[in-house]
Amino acid sequence: MTPDSIKKLVALLSQLPSLGPRQATRVAFHIAGMPTSEVTELARVINETARLKRCTQCFRIDELTTGRCTICANPRRDQASIIIVEKETDVLTLEKTKAIKGRYLVLGDLPKDGVLTTQQRTRLAALKKSIADLPGGIASEIIIGFSPTTYGDLNAEIVAGQIKGITQKISRLGRGIPTGGEIEFADEQTLDAAIKNRN
Contacts of 8 (CB under 8 A, 6+ apart): none
Q: What is the pTM of this model?
A: 0.81
Task: Output the CA torsion 72→77→81→82 (10° steps).
Answer: -30
* Distance in angstroms (rounded) separating the CA atoms of residues 3 and 9: 10
- Dist. CA 49–CA 88, nearest whole Å: 14
What domains sit in the chain, N to C, each tagged with a CATH number? 4-51 (1.10.8.420), 55-196 (3.40.1360.10)
Question: Which carries the bigger pLDDT value, residue 191 or residue 73?
Answer: 73
pLDDT for 199: 64
**Percent of the chain at pLDDT above 90?**
73
- Higher local confidence (pLDDT), 127 or 178: 127
Average pLDDT score over residue span 71-84: 96
Q: What is the pLDDT of residues 145-182, one digit of tens each?
A: 998 888 888 999 999 999 999 999 999 987 777 778 78
Mean pLDDT of 127-131: 96
Q: Is 152 in a helix, a strand, or coil?
A: helix
pLDDT at 179: 74
Q: What is the pLDDT of residue 118?
A: 95
Average pLDDT, the chain: 92
Q: Name the 3-class secondary structure at 18.
A: coil
CA angle, 59 then 60 then 64, to 5°:
100
pLDDT in the model for residue 163: 95
